A and B are shown apart, each in its own frame.
Chain A
Amino acid sequence: MKKTLFDKIWDSHIVESIPNGPDILYIDKHLIHEVTSPQAFNELKERDVPLFRPEQTVATADHNTPTENQHLPVKDLLSRKQLKELTQNCEENNITLYGLGHPYNGIVHVMAPELGITQPGMTIVCGDSHTSTHGAFGTIAFGIGTSQVAQVFASQCLLVEKPKKLRVNVNGKLKKGVLPKDVILYIISKLGTNSGTGYFCEYAGDVFESMSMEGRMTVCNMSIEMGARGGLIAPDQTTFDYVEGKEFAPKGEEFENLKAYWKTLKTDEGAEFDQEYSFDAEDIEPMITYGTNPGMGIKLNEAIPVEGTKSDAKALSYMGFQPGESLLEKPINYIFIGSCTNSRIEDFRTAAAYIKGKKKADNVNALIVPGSRQVAAQIQEEGLHTIFEEAGFTLRQPGCSACLAMNDDKIPAGEYCVSTSNRNFEGRQGQGSRTILASPLTAAATAIAGKLTDYTKMLN
């Protein structure tokens, strides 16, 4: 039978299929962080069940962490307690922890790929919905709930029903200034936030093939925002080159053997999908969102749709926008470049290239937060920090930061923030905050102009 990339990985990880029930799916790598793991550790302790494969578990601290003075004790007491519990749990259970301040510390979906923990053909789970990011490597990766975290602790397996298969094709050549973030925001704006429910999505076509690993991660990251369990892209030379030489990647002969296997990980010609959509690269332009879900997206120079549902109207009133309004020239006081969607070195290079020699507008607070310590170090090495500093941007230490209002970095009520993160829900970046999702380039251009502006004309 002809198989899809997804089938190949899934089927090879089935320990047992329960008749009329779910599959027992083997999990290669389990990533954990401070927020969704404590109850799962307790669950095991109460049952007196040991961790089955602690060596296949890796922990980081990212959600609750401050992005300033990381060498000092964390000020927020609840956060400090969660972090302490993570440290203790990892010690007791022999789990590798890259805690705050460790050179490998970072947002879980940034640090694992850059350390070579994420590899093609694996199954990876984490108690976080944006685990779909790792699908960029041709990996089945998805977010799980706390009970499931405990299941993986106890057995390195999950009981799951096999999802349906969806493929999204984008062919052609992207226009100048159109970034991977625009591609995924465009797809979600066309398909809606429920289109992926019950599916695992494969992205295929020229556009993804010619994308860097960073770009593919941005795309797969947001699969969950169209409702899909996860997204994935077939591994190719770009993938192998990225993985090769990474800290925990296999080396030498082992790498070559694996690579030979990884090359078989692609959808067979003629394999069937339950649903398929296709788009033209030429139709895609820089995108922004205007509402309170990631599907409410328009091209930067497009007007907000006039027709909408009741909940669209509620979203617009929250955002303070009118149907039919163009958002160009809209003054913006905050921009945030960061989050597991866009906090990799390529994102900061793109932003720096645009910012270089310019200054941010006076009204703007511009926050730059690298996804990991490694990215932060690279920013220094490449001298990007000087560009940011000279332009008046604030460069912080790594973490989830203003992506979610759980740590100190929050956007004040009523303020607009052009943000490279993935969710624009009401209050996501702080109570009453108004999020406009966009690419790092759009965020950088907004910071310079002090308002949303059509920068595409200015790109040489």
Chain B
Amino acid sequence: MEKFTTLTDTAVPLDIENVDTDQIIPARFLKATDKAGFGENLFRDWRFDKNDEPNPDFPLNNPNFSGSILVAGNNFGCGSSREHAAWAIKAYGFKVVVSSYFADIFKGNSLNNGLLPVQVNQEFLDEIFLALQKNSEEKITVDLENQEISIESTGASQHFDIDPYKKTCMINGFDDIDFLVSKWEAIKKYEENNKTTPTPVGV
């Protein structure tokens, strides 16, 4: 997994509340057997119309907006627990999603896949939307070490929360798999110690 410390970039506003995972990646795209392709179908039914023509009103299709930060309305990622939603956002090229609330499972899935969910309060979220409205080139900085997000033009900033274990993982570019692989020795020792005890494992 890529390391994440500080990111300063332009952002794409998605001023919609309750974006559910079915909108993020519609169910009909789930039969695939690898993760890479999901970016193409991110927000498929919003990005494209019935004839597969790009919908010009959708922010991801607006040439003024670009960058690796997605700023979305309240309660992002609700609905079905599919991990594919996080894969799709990541595969499209986003590294951070900012919202005033994330659905629990989506948050977990994102962190597991190197996509940083940054939860701010509603006022701060509105400030970001406003700044982006005024200037689509507005820069947002996400400083994971200090758990702080700021808007360049106004200097406004806010602290955000993250699970300390997950923070260490993101900063070191570690995910759960890397972490567990780093624990192989401890795991082998555990296996060894438990072979003959009254609590046999791995039998």
A binds B: yes
* Residues of chain B contacted by A18 (CB below 8 angstroms): 165
Instruction: Tell me, in angstroms, the Cα distance from A157 to B180 when the chains sit together.
Output: 7
A22 interface residue, CB < 8 Å from B? yes
Instruction: Tell me, in angstroms, the Cα distance from A146 to B86 when the chains sit together.
Output: 12
A155 interface residue, CB < 8 Å from B? yes
Instruction: Tell me, in angstroms, the Cα distance from A145 to B109 when the chains sit together.
Output: 9
Q: With A81-B33, A147-B113 in contact, is A15–B83 under 8 Å at CB?
A: no
Stretch at the interface among A45-53, A210-218, A316-324, A409-417: A45-53
A78 interface residue, CB < 8 Å from B? yes
Q: With A42-B34, A78-B31, A151-B176 in contact, is A16–B183 under 8 Å at CB?
A: yes
Instruction: Tell me, in angstroms, the Cα distance from A146 to B190 when the chains sit together.
Output: 25
* Residues of chain B contacted by A258 (CB below 8 angstroms): 200, 203
Per-residue A-contact encoding for B177-195, CB less than 8 Å = 1, 0 else: 1011101101100110010
How many A-B residue pairs lie within 8 Å, measured between CB atoms?
95
Instruction: Tell me, in angstroms, the Cα distance from A28 to B177 when the chains sit together.
Output: 18
Would B81 and A145 count as touching, CB distance under 8 A?
Answer: yes
* Residues of chain B contacted by A24 (CB below 8 angstroms): 180, 183, 186-187
Would A146 and B183 count as touching, CB distance under 8 A?
Answer: no
A236 to chain B, nearest CB (A): 18
In this complex, which of A20, A24, A49, A261 has the most chain B Cβ atoms within 10 angstroms of its Cβ?
A: A24
A26 interface residue, CB < 8 Å from B? yes
Q: With A20-B165, A47-B177, A53-B202 in contact, is A38–B34 under 8 Å at CB?
A: yes
Instruction: Tell me, in angstroms, the Cα distance from A20 to B83 when the chains sit together.
Output: 25
Partner of A42, one of B33, B190, B194, B202: B33
A84 to chain B, nearest CB (A): 10
- Chain A: interface residue total (CB-CB under 8 A): 43
- Chain B: interface residue total (CB-CB under 8 A): 30
* Residues of chain B contacted by A154 (CB below 8 angstroms): 177, 180-181
Partner of B163, one of A21, A42, A43, A52: A21
Instruction: Tell me, in angstroms, the Cα distance from A12 to B177 when the chains sit together.
Output: 22
A179 to chain B, nearest CB (A): 30
* Residues of chain B contacted by A146 (CB below 8 angstroms): 83
B198 interface residue, CB < 8 Å from A? yes
A75 to chain B, nearest CB (A): 15
Q: With A38-B33, A150-B177 in contact, is A121–B183 under 8 Å at CB?
A: no
- B29-65 residues at the A interface, CB under 8 angstroms: 31, 33-35
* Residues of chain A contacted by B74 (CB below 8 angstroms): none
Instruction: Tell me, in angstroms, the Cα distance from A16 to B190 when the chains sit together.
Output: 9
Would A147 and B186 count as touching, CB distance under 8 A?
Answer: no
A85 interface residue, CB < 8 Å from B? yes
A133 interface residue, CB < 8 Å from B? no
Per-residue B-contact encoding for A88-108, CB less than 8 Å = 1, 0 else: 000000000000000000000
Partner of A56, one of B81, B112, B176, B202: B202
Per-residue B-contact encoding for A43-83, CB less than 8 Å = 1, 0 else: 10001010011001000000000000000000000100110
Would A155 and B83 count as touching, CB distance under 8 A?
Answer: no
B153 interface residue, CB < 8 Å from A? no
- B153-169 residues at the A interface, CB under 8 angstroms: 163-165
Which 5 residue pairs of A and B lie closest in terms of their CB atoms, listed nearest first? A155-B180, A21-B165, A38-B33, A12-B199, A15-B190
10 new A-B contacts at CB < 8 Å, known A24-B186, A26-B187: A13-B201, A22-B165, A24-B180, A42-B33, A78-B31, A145-B81, A147-B176, A159-B176, A250-B203, A261-B198
Report which A residues bind B (CB closer than 8 A): 12-13, 15-16, 18, 20-22, 24, 26, 28, 38-39, 42-43, 47, 49, 52-53, 56, 78, 81-82, 85, 119, 121-122, 145-148, 150-151, 154-157, 159, 250, 258, 260-261, 264
**Could you list 25 A-B pairs, sorted by A, with CB under 8 Å?**
A24-B187, A28-B202, A38-B34, A39-B33, A39-B35, A49-B177, A78-B31, A82-B31, A119-B203, A121-B199, A122-B203, A147-B112, A147-B113, A148-B176, A150-B177, A151-B176, A151-B180, A154-B181, A155-B177, A155-B184, A156-B202, A159-B176, A159-B179, A261-B199, A261-B200
